Structure 1
Amino acid sequence: MAWNEPGGGRNQDPWRGRDGRGQPDLDDVIKKLQDRFGGMLGGGGGNDSGGFGLLALVLGVILAVWFVAGLYRVEQAEEALVLRFGKYHSTESAGLHWNPWGIDSIMKVDVNQRETMPVRATMLTEDQNIVDIDLQVQYVVTDSRNFFLESSSPIDTLRNSVESALRHVVGGSEMDRVLTDGREAIAVEVHQRLQDYLDRYKTGLMVDKLNIEDAHPPKDVKAAFDDVIKAKEDEERVKNEAEAYANQIVPEARGEAQRMIEEANAY
């Protein structure tokens, strides 16, 4: 028997309700769902109150997520640069902070970490000699605002400033001073001039230490330079030996002359 044929006192049409009243009203179903969920959200069971409760919940969740997203921590060795709409707003120190997410952006920098930059440069001395110099520059960020915003490339500026300061100091020194006992004094002069440059260009960097590791003539002239140094050393050695001999023989000669005078007087 087909489901839509009469019989058995039952109507088996699946599109009719169990009570035989026909197809359920879609509006009634939607209304019941709204009433049920509206009540769960605190509404009074009506369409307006249920919709308002759902909207309030969604807005509350969004607001909570937005608030949490704005929390951030600055570590003890850091500074946080706060930009509002891309422009500088403030600098925050260590601790827990909040800024409106999507409006402010945060840039952190380690203000205690020391970085080292090796530099190798070829310089011309005051007496027109060429020397190759290797040095190490240890630096630290002390002003995050200048480091991020005032200088377009602070690290490149540091390297260029090192070479400029070195060129100025070495250019006013003779080669012997650069290669021998004047190296430490030259490092101090370069350090002072370099820091002046970095402050002038607002890099936010401080030079903590500058050491000249090595200074030597270029390889292609090193052999000739070594010969010159050896000749100077030989000259100094011969001079010292001559002075030592003179210091020995002159008193002896004077003593002999005095003895001969005394012997002559005795006759």
Structure 2
Amino acid sequence: MRWGSDDFGGGGQPGFGGNPLEDLVEKIKERIPRLGGGKILVAVAAVVVVLWLASGIYMVGPGEEAVIRQFGKEVDRTSPGLRFRLPYPFQTHDVVQLIRIRRAEIGFRTDPAGKIRPESRESLMLTGDENIVDAQLFVQYVVKDPSKFLFRVKDPEMTLKATAEVALRSVVGRNTIDYTMTEGRVVVQDEIKKYLQNLLDEYQTGLMVTEARLLVVDPPEEVKDAFHDVVRAWEDRERLMRIAEGYREDLIPKAKGEATQMIRTAEAYKEQRVIRAQGDAAKFLDVLKAYQKAREVTRERLYLETLEKIFPGKEKFILPPAGKDSVLKWLPLKEGMTLKEEKKEEKGGKKP
């Protein structure tokens, strides 16, 4: 450690392990009587002053920022490079690493060998539907404000761990266990990150969360198998719903097409019926006019046309009214023979 450095890597108040400058002064005092002369004393004093001034030189590395304090009060910040400040006790400095990614583990601990050890005291919590869930959260963060990181909170990293546990329990407690474990997992992570950052800003920790990831979200070990069966059933339900939705998307367009075709057919039939009705109405009006001009003739014609429709394809004979001179004494009623055929047969029989 550099002379005058503190826990943050910067130069602060000299430690309790002894000051090299004071040791050098004591050694010089011991040798002055033997060397003799005031000139040597002046030279020694000059060397001491130079060394004291040199103690104000410090280095700020890449990705670091130094906070200068004068009699305990922040007066300046310096960027990376070789810097100088007034020596102690007038000024001190603290160097903070800004790009260093720090991590916090909630609900578990990782030992030096890389093995994960659960911490049930932190991981077990209640969900919004009053179920118990085992949740483990991994948080990564950086320092965004060195002044707040150094002076606002006594232990920023312990504060972040406690705040992250509060955020985890609060967000999980507002959601159901199914939602947190399945489709809502990413949303819950984002809510935890936002809530945690708001708390850190409120406490003025000077920290910024870069990632908050749920490593484990499971029911307690005693009911894990049964709960996984429920999750698999839920996944089957979702799969069947997707299949039904696909069938629906295929069936509805066909049904709409058939409905459109039926509507068009009905409209065409409607137009046809309307046109036919209009024609029948016009025909009826024509018949009415004819009937009004010659009632008996029109009535007789309509009667005959009706008979024609009632007995289609049948041979018909019309007789004049009884009592008139026009009654025929003989009718060619031979089955299957018309009047013209009968006359032809008669003419043919008279020939020699």
* TM-score band w.r.t. shorter chain: 0.5 to 0.7
2:214 is matched by which residue type in structure 1?
Answer: I
CA contact (8 A) 1:91 1:145 kept: no
Deviation at 1:221, TM superposition (A): 1.9
- Asked if 1:80 corresponds to 2:80, the answer is no
TM superposition score normalised by structure 1:
0.66
1:38-57 equivalences in 2 (<5 Å): 51=38, 53-57=39-43
The structure with more radius of gyration: 2
Task: Name the CA shift for 1:232/1:73 in 2 (closer, same or farther; >3 Å).
Answer: closer
- Residue of structure 2 in register with 1:193 after alignment: 195
CA contact (8 A) 1:129 1:175 kept: yes
- Residue of structure 1 in register with 2:106 after alignment: 119
Partner of 2:75: helix, strand, or coil? Answer: strand
How many residue pairs align between the two structures?
A: 201
- Residue of structure 2 in register with 1:149 after alignment: 151
Q: Among residues 165, 170, 173, which one is paired with 1:171 in the alignment?
A: 173
1:169 is matched by which residue type in structure 2?
Answer: V
Q: What RMSD over aligned residues (CA atoms) do the two structures have, in Å?
A: 2.9
1:1-267 equivalences in 2 (<5 Å): 51=38, 53-103=39-89, 104-120=91-107, 121-230=123-232, 232=234
Comparing 136-145 and 84-93, the one that deviates more: 84-93
Comparing 140-149 and 78-87, the one that deviates more: 78-87
CA contact (8 A) 1:217 1:225 kept: yes
1:162 is matched by which residue type in structure 2?
Answer: A
User: For 2:98 and 2:241, how far apart are their aligned partners in 1?
Assistant: 56
Between Structure 1 and Structure 2, which shows a larger proportion of strand residues? 1
CA contact (8 A) 2:69 2:92 kept: yes
User: For 1:191 and 1:163, how far apart are their aligned partners in 2?
Assistant: 11
User: For 1:56 and 1:130, how far apart are their aligned partners in 2?
Assistant: 77
CA contact (8 A) 1:161 1:197 kept: yes
Query: Deviation per CA, 1:120-139, whole angstroms, max 9, x where unpaired?
Result: 22221111111111221110
TM superposition score normalised by structure 2:
0.51
User: For 2:171 and 2:153, how far apart are their aligned partners in 1?
Assistant: 25
Query: Deviation per CA, 1:202-250, whole angstroms, max 9, x where unpaired?
Result: 11110011111221101122133234335555677888999999x99xx
1:56 is matched by which residue type in structure 2?
Answer: V
Deviation at 1:144, TM superposition (A): 1.1
User: For 1:240 and 1:58, how far apart are their aligned partners in 2?
Assistant: 89
User: For 1:94 and 1:71, how far apart are their aligned partners in 2?
Assistant: 13
Task: Name the CA shift for 1:237/1:204 in 2 (closer, same or farther; >3 Å).
Answer: closer
Q: Which consecutive unaligned segments of at least 5 residues does structure 1 have?
A: 1-36, 39-49, 249-267
Query: Deviation per CA, 1:6-43, whole angstroms, max 9, x where unpaired?
Result: xxxxxxxxxxxxxxxxxxxxxxxxxxxxxxx89xxxxx
Greater RCO, 1 or 2 (C-alpha within 8 Å, sep 6+): 1
Question: Which portions of structure 1, spanning 4 or more consecutive aligned residues, are displaced by more than 6 angstroms?
Answer: 234-245
Task: Name the CA shift for 1:106/1:176 in 2 (closer, same or farther; >3 Å).
Answer: same
CA contact (8 A) 1:133 1:216 kept: yes
Deviation at 1:72, TM superposition (A): 0.6
Partner of 1:63: helix, strand, or coil? Answer: helix
Percentage of matched positions with identical amino acids: 39
Deviation at 1:57, TM superposition (A): 1.2
Query: Deviation per CA, 1:38-59, whole angstroms, max 9, x where unpaired?
Result: 9xxxxxxxxxxx52x3332122
Q: Which consecutive unaligned segments of at least 5 residues does structure 2 have?
A: 1-34, 108-122, 252-352
CA contact (8 A) 2:137 2:168 kept: no
Query: Deviation per CA, 1:122-165, whole angstroms, max 9, x where unpaired?
Result: 22111111111122111001111111110011111111111111
Task: Name the CA shift for 1:236/1:112 in 2 (closer, same or farther; >3 Å).
Answer: closer
Query: Deviation per CA, 1:174-226, whole angstroms, max 9, x where unpaired?
Result: 11110001100111111111111111111111001111122110112213323
Task: Name the CA shift for 1:87/1:71 in 2 (closer, same or farther; >3 Å).
Answer: same
